[in-house]
Amino acid sequence: MKVADLAELAARNLREAVLRNSLTTLGIAVGVASLVALLSLGVGLQQLVDRSVARAGLFDTVSVRPRQSAPLGQGVGLRRTPRDAADLQPPRVLDDAARNEIAALPNVVEVNPEVRFTAEARREPNSQLVTVSGMAQSSQSSGTLDDMTGNFFSGPDAEEAIVQGDLAKRLLANGKAPASLLGQEITLRFAQRQALPPRSEQAQPEAPNQAASPDEDAMGFSIVPSEKKFRVVGVLPASDSVGGQARFNNAGLYLPLAVAEKLQVVQRDDLRDVARSTMSVGTRYAALNVLVNSPAAVAQIESRVSDMGFAAFSLIDVTRNLRTFFAIFDLFLGIFGSLALAVASLGIINTLVMAILERRREIGVLKALGAANRDVRQLFFAEAGVMGLVGGVFGVLLGWAIGRAIQFGTVLYLKRQGLNPPNIWSVPWWLVLGAIGFAVLVSLASGIYPASRAARLDPVEALRYE
């Protein structure tokens, strides 16, 4: 028989015992709904974490440092590519030449120096020690600041700051919302290095709030306290809200990268460089942040940078483990969700076996008119498949509604707790198609026994049946 005829006959047969078949189909729908609701929750949670990690720049950033970061006798804080032979050679300097070489690598979007220091942020009468970090212009479009209140820096040289909600709270009077710091000025006090001219030409230091000229040719530098005012243009969510996740180069206050560089703040490696007798000419970076155009390219860039003789670091391994965790988590959710579908499949078997008993004579007539065993088998399969398809579609709709209800309840609960509610629920198209396909597959598998039993019926016996 043709597929269209099989489907037509199957639909007609299902309509005849409408109550029983509807209940069986409802059983499948409930099974699919539980599967969809649980998996949509798993997928939603995974996407929430993925979004957080992506915003934090963990997926597309490689941190590069010189290999000789630690003197003998001291451990290395960052992961290093184990290259014992290379370690014996003089370590390569992370200078402008190296920066350009890295920037020329395929898939590299930009290479920025890491500027990071500790300063005191002050807004009378409150003050707070804070980690300050330079932020590249590209961060504006990276999604890193999606949940920020206010605006991004008006230009690369603007004397503006973006602060974390925690810092804003501490600088404000009690009870004020962090966003009320927007537009106000805060003062940063930091340790500035000032170049020392050759001993014969000792000069008085300049005013502390003015950036000094580069000191490459100097014999060394002095460290002086310096202050500078910045206007707050953006406030990031406080860490106690759900959206306030940790970021790559996590800091309490961000300045435009170019501004942060010009401050000439003493960096950790400066003291060590002074101690060395082999100071080179030109800019030397403590670390570079390499922005890659796709997370898939991170591992390759990491490897290429290591080959150049630098220590490269990314959190790609951490995210890989995270994905493994969620794969297992989703598997367990899927198994629990499938239990209801397994029970529903017993309902299909029961319904179809009952149908064989009721339609024994009909099967005999079909065979007498020329239906082959295959036709009878396919007819019962089609009936099981139609129940699976209808149950699958209704199940997805039901699961979607349950997921919405869970999301709604979660949002309500978190808002009452004073937290920023995230989206923890997602029904991607592959879940919709997969759930319907799975329902049809389970239904067809349930139909195997009844269909074979119907196909094996002896037509002579079946025609005698009253």
217 counts as binding another protein under rule CB under 8 A: no
Q: Is 101 in the site for another protein (CB under 8 A)?
A: no
Return d(Cα 9, Cα 18) in angstroms, integer. 14
Examine residue 435 and tell whether it contacts another protein (CB under 8 A): no
**DSSP labels for 379-405?**
HHHHHHHHHHHHHHHHHHHHHHHHHHH
When asked if residue 7 is in the footprint of another protein (CB under 8 A), the reply is: no
Give the binding range for another protein (CB under 8 A) out of 4-12, 63-71, 304-312, 444-452: 4-12
9 forms part of the interface with another protein (CB under 8 A):
yes
Closer residue to another protein, CB minimum distance, 79 or 464: 464
Q: Does 460 bind another protein (CB under 8 A)?
A: yes
Beta strand extents in 241-287 (DSSP E only): 253-256
Residue from 373, 410, 420, 452 that binds another protein (CB under 8 A)?
373
Beta bridge partners of 131: 118
Main-chain phi, psi angles of 65, to 5 degrees = -135, 160
Single out the residue of 374, 405, 408, 409 in contact with another protein (rule: CB under 8 A): 374
For 235, 251, 319, 414, the CA distances from 56, given in Å and listed in that order, are 16, 12, 12, 23
State the residue for tokens 């297992």: 328
C-alpha R_g of the chain: 34
459 touching another protein, by CB under 8 A: yes
Tell me the CA distances in angstroms from 451 to 19, 100, 101, 362, one per residue in order: 21, 70, 68, 14
**Which CB, 361 or 415, lies closer to another protein?**
361
SS3 content of the chain, % helix, strand, coil (to 5): 50, 20, 30
Coil vs helix vs strand at 236? strand
- For position 11 contacting another protein by CB under 8 A, the verdict is no
| Minimum separation from the CB atom of position 358 to another protein (A) | 11
Residue 67 dihedral angles phi and psi, to the nearest 5°:
-70, -30
The verdict on 81 binding another protein (CB under 8 A) reads: no
Nearest distance in Å: CB 465, another protein: 11
Q: Considering the complex, what minimum distance in angstroms separates the CB of residue 147 from another protein?
A: 60
- In whole angstroms, the minimum distance from the beta carbon of 452 to another protein comes to 14
Among 370, 416, 417, 429, binds another protein (CB under 8 A): 370
C-beta of 373: minimal distance to another protein in Å?
A: 6
Window 288-317: residues binding another protein (CB under 8 A): none
Residue 12 in the binding site for another protein (CB under 8 A): yes
**Touching another protein, residues 14-43 (CB under 8 A):** 16
Strand partners, 194: 222
Q: Which helix (H) or strand (E) holds 117?
A: strand 116-123
* Binding status of residue 354 toward another protein by CB under 8 A: no
Contacting positions for another protein (CB under 8 A)? 1-2, 4-5, 9, 12, 16, 361-362, 364-375, 459-460, 463
